[in-house]
A and B are shown apart, each in its own frame.
Chain A
């Protein structure tokens, strides 16, 4: 019985290593060879989990996700002006603005955009992350556009006499027909001039309203306003029943496209203002990754050499443990997935240092017990147990700090920005993993290599 347990854990250990290695492969690996005259041509695919556990669908792809600072892209932060919204409706208004912005962003076809609301005290912000968008100025204009579409008509004749203003300025009376009644807006080209125009297709209610409005305004202008700016004010020739209208203006093709997108996504319920933007060109990120990678590899090699020179055989084991540590953490980062940013990489590198520390603590304690004249086996058992206390206490303190930095409950008196969060997250995952590898894996390897051998 006593012998079966270690065998089982060795088995579990092997399974774990295979799983972790599989989770870390960057691309699918093709396998081509012939066996007994049979040609085998297959590939190890990327690890994918797609199962149902306890009625919950679990789907995971294992792929490394890079942050904007590494792969290039734009981070935009908009502040919502909620001053005119009653306090009870603020949250909802910001949430609906977020959804509309998301729809507009999707128009750009970027992969994995992220649109989030950030609330702190009474300020409401919407952050938009766009990986690799070329023309960011256009994107900003489209996202920030309120796009309140309004149809207006001339004020009643009495009012007209009273104000004596030119007819165009008089078309200010709202008709009740707005962007909400538009089913679909598309870009078309005028048959005669070739100019891009925006075609509006009304909903049932909108079509009926439009019919009424055009019916009572024959020979008079109807104003089309977007964000309180008159876009066009055509004079109605006849009652329009088809349920569609055309906005002509001096549009470029892009402007017409943006307007159509803005109308389609709906009007923003509140105005938003851009207060922060960070744009990283693709070259800078690539360089940062390359240089950090080289730095990381040089660092790792020096750490491993140092450990082996100083601790000899134990150092080799620790380096092996470190390798497993690195692979497990990478697998976790890919599984969650954690978006890698520069501070995130720094947090990871720091946690490597702390993982080594666990090993050094254990080795020093074992050496200490050996100096007291104990044989390796006893020294290992006693030293290991003593080291665990220190490792546990020290790492809990680190986790405590990481916890506060990560701010999981989104308390608004703590920092809420992504950079520091990324750092805290990689650091805490690193520390937790190092607890596991330092305590479980290193122990296992020492048992396999030393204790089992010495028994024979």
Chain B
């Protein structure tokens, strides 16, 4: 048996360091919100000719459409973000590129979202997450017949939520990852995965408690020692599924997979190193 609980302070310090970096980055850099939230348009064009990025930027400046950003995603693929435009304006833009650079332009994607929709999405998702958290709290407190289990699990979940947000804002800083509805899906997945993992450890503690009158620290240490291999193996399999997606996935799915990857790691970490130590603290206070 390994005495995991002895190093509770170390785990909390590690978490606090990562949380601080993340929260600092969130405040300082914030996020780039995708058109799902801000409204606006994105067009993705595939050209048949190599075109210089800055050249394209300068030439398109003159057109009547407000260009927010231009990214070269691939050799001849550009993604252009603009203020909300309709399908006719998109046609103009395409024609302009065609004429100015005398290249064929294939349209890969054209999305346009009205600004009102974004607010709505954020609010609703936020409410759904809160309800999900409350549901988890009630469910765990109910199955384990103790409120402290529920509270500890929810703390760990909120911890993972904040870590993921913080790390994503770093990804925004370095790789200009956007917050879109896929990211929201990743956040929610992380939360459910985190709870899933925590329940497995809690289940073990409950199991030992049935047959033993030893103190909660010893039981927790026993449970952690027994479940550690399973926890690592389990997240390893998910990580093995996700890494190829990060490496090979198309633009839209790559950051999604990366967010899930961060979520899996923090979700695995938080169960033995946040949820269980917290449970021990709560139980001892009684």
Q: Which of the residues B124, B197, B241, B256 comes within 8 Å of A414, measured between beta carbons?
A: B124
Chain A residues, Cβ within 8 Å of B244: 294-296, 298-299, 302
Cα distance A453–B29 in the bound complex, in angstroms = 62
* Residues from chain B with Cβ under 8 Å of A356 in the complex: 234, 237
Segment of A15-23, A252-260, A270-278 in the binding face: A270-278
Q: Any chain A CB within 8 A of the CB of B178? A: no
Residue A342, interface by CB 8 Å: yes
Contact B230 A361 (CB under 8 A): yes
Contact B199 A287 (CB under 8 A): no
A298 to B113, CA, bound (A): 35
Cβ-defined partner of B199 (8 Å) among A386, A397, A417, A419: A397
B128 touches A414 (CB 8 A): yes
CA gap between A419 and B127 in the complex, in Å:
17
Interchain CB contact under 8 A, A404 and B252: no
In the complex, A136 Cα to B238 Cα: how many Å? 40
* Contact partner, B248, options A294, A407, A417, Cβ 8 Å: A294
B286 within 8 A of A: no
Given A136-B87, A415-B121, A420-B181, A398-B196 contact (CB < 8 Å): yes
Q: Which A residues between 405 and 437 are near B, CB-CB below 8 angstroms?
A: 405, 407, 413-417, 419-420, 423, 427
B14 on interface, CB distance cutoff 8 Å: no
**In this assembly, does A204 line the interface, its C-beta being within 8 Å of a C-beta of chain B?**
no
Q: Which residues of B contact A360 (CB under 8 A)?
A: 230, 233-234, 237
Q: With A342-B253, A397-B192 in contact, is A413–B124 under 8 Å at CB? A: yes
In the bound complex, residues from chain A placing their C-beta under 8 Å from that of B127 are 413-414
| Residues B176-206 near A (CB distance < 8 A) | 181-182, 184-185, 188-189, 191-193, 195-197, 199-200, 203-204
Let me know if B34 is at the binding interface, CB within 8 A.
no
- Bound Cα distance A427, B131 (Å): 19
Q: Are A346 and B253 in contact (CB under 8 A)?
A: yes
List, in ascending order, chain B residues with CB within 8 A of A245's CB: none
A343 CA to B250 CA, complexed, in Å:
13
Given known pairs A295-B247, A402-B192, A423-B185, the reply for A368 and B241 (CB within 8 Å) is no
A420–chain B nearest beta-carbon distance, Å: 6
Q: Is B2 an interface residue when CB atoms closer than 8 A count as contact?
A: no
A124–B241 Cα gap in the complex (Å)? 40
| Residue among A298, A357, A361, A386 with most chain B CB within 10 A | A357
B46 to chain A, nearest CB (A): 7
Task: Report Cα–Cα, A288/B248, bound state, in Å.
Answer: 9
Closest A residue by C-beta to B192: A401
Query: Which B235-265 residues have C-beta < 8 A from chain A?
Result: 236-238, 240-245, 247-250, 252-253, 256-257, 260
* A276: contacting residue among B106, B112, B193, CB under 8 A: B112
Q: Considering the chains assembled together, what is the distance between the CA atoms of A132 and B157 in angstroms? A: 41
**How far does the alpha carbon of A396 sit from the alpha carbon of B116 in the complex, in Å?**
35
Q: Which residues of chain A are within 8 angstroms of B121 by Cβ–Cβ distance?
A: 415, 417
Contacting pair A279 B109 (CB below 8 A): yes
| Contact yes or no, B245 A277, CB < 8 A | no
User: Given that A299-B240, A356-B234, A364-B230 are contacting pairs, would A288 and B253 also be in contact in the complex, using a CB cutoff of 8 Å?
Assistant: yes
Cβ-based interface call for A208 (8 A): no
| Interchain nearest-CB distance for B93 vs A (Å) | 13
Chain B CB within 8 A of A338 CB: no
- What are the interface flags for A303-347 relative to B under an 8 Å C-beta threshold, 1 for contact and 0 otherwise? 100110010000000000000000000000000000000110011
Nearest opposing residue in chain B for A310, CB measure: B233
Q: Smallest distance from the beta carbon of B261 to chain A beta carbons, Å? A: 11
**What string of 1s and 0s marks CB contacts (under 8 Å) between A262-287 and chain B?**
00000000000011111111011001
Chain B residues in 8 Å Cβ range of A389:
203, 207
Asked if A419 and B191 make an inter-chain contact with CB atoms under 8 angstroms apart, the answer reads no
Indicate with 1 or 0, residue by residue over B201-216, a CB within 8 angstroms of chain A CB atoms.
0011001000000000
- Interface residues of A: mostly helix, strand, loop or mixed? helix
- Return the chain B residue nearest A136 by Cβ: B87
Decide: A397 and B253 in contact? CB cutoff 8 A. Answer: no
By a CB distance below 8 angstroms, the chain B residues around A353 are 234, 237-238, 241
Instruction: Report how far A351 CA is from B195 CA in the complex, Å.
Output: 15
Is A354 part of the contact surface with B, judged by Cβ < 8 Å? yes
Smallest CB gap from B43: residue in A = A279
Given A137-B91, A386-B207, answer yes or no on A287-B250 (Cβ-Cβ < 8 Å). Answer: yes
B210 to chain A, nearest CB (A): 11
Chain B 128-153 residues near chain A, CB threshold 8 A? 128, 131-132, 135-136, 139-140, 143
Task: Tell me which residues across on chain B come within 8 A of A352, comparing CB atoms.
Answer: 241
Which of A298, A303, A310, A401 has most chain B Cβ within 10 Å?
A: A401
Q: A284-B109, A394-B196 given as contacts; is B237 within 8 A of A275 (CB)? A: no
Q: Is B229 an interface residue (CB 8 A)?
A: yes
- B117 on the A face (CB < 8 A): yes
Question: A275-B116, A295-B248 are known contacts. Are A404 and B233 too (CB-CB below 8 A)?
Answer: no
Is A400 an interface position by the 8 A CB rule? yes
A66 interface contact, C-beta 8 A: no
Q: What residues of chain B lie closer than 8 Å to A79, measured between beta carbons?
A: 114
Given A283-B106, A349-B241, A292:B233 Cβ within 8 A: no
Offer 28 A-B interface pairs, CB within 8 angstroms, sorted by A: A120-B120, A137-B87, A137-B88, A276-B113, A280-B108, A283-B108, A284-B108, A291-B249, A291-B250, A295-B244, A295-B249, A306-B240, A346-B182, A350-B189, A350-B238, A353-B238, A360-B234, A368-B226, A390-B199, A394-B196, A397-B140, A397-B199, A401-B132, A401-B191, A402-B192, A405-B132, A415-B124, A420-B185
Residues of B near any A CB (own CB < 8 A): 44, 46, 86-88, 91, 106-114, 116-117, 120-121, 124-125, 127-128, 131-132, 135-136, 139-140, 143, 181-182, 184-185, 188-189, 191-193, 195-197, 199-200, 203-204, 207, 226-227, 229-230, 233-234, 236-238, 240-245, 247-250, 252-253, 256-257, 260
18 more A-B contacts (CB under 8 A) besides A349-B241, A390-B203, A393-B203? A69-B252, A281-B108, A291-B248, A291-B250, A292-B249, A292-B253, A295-B245, A299-B241, A302-B244, A306-B237, A343-B256, A346-B253, A346-B260, A390-B199, A393-B199, A394-B200, A405-B128, A414-B128
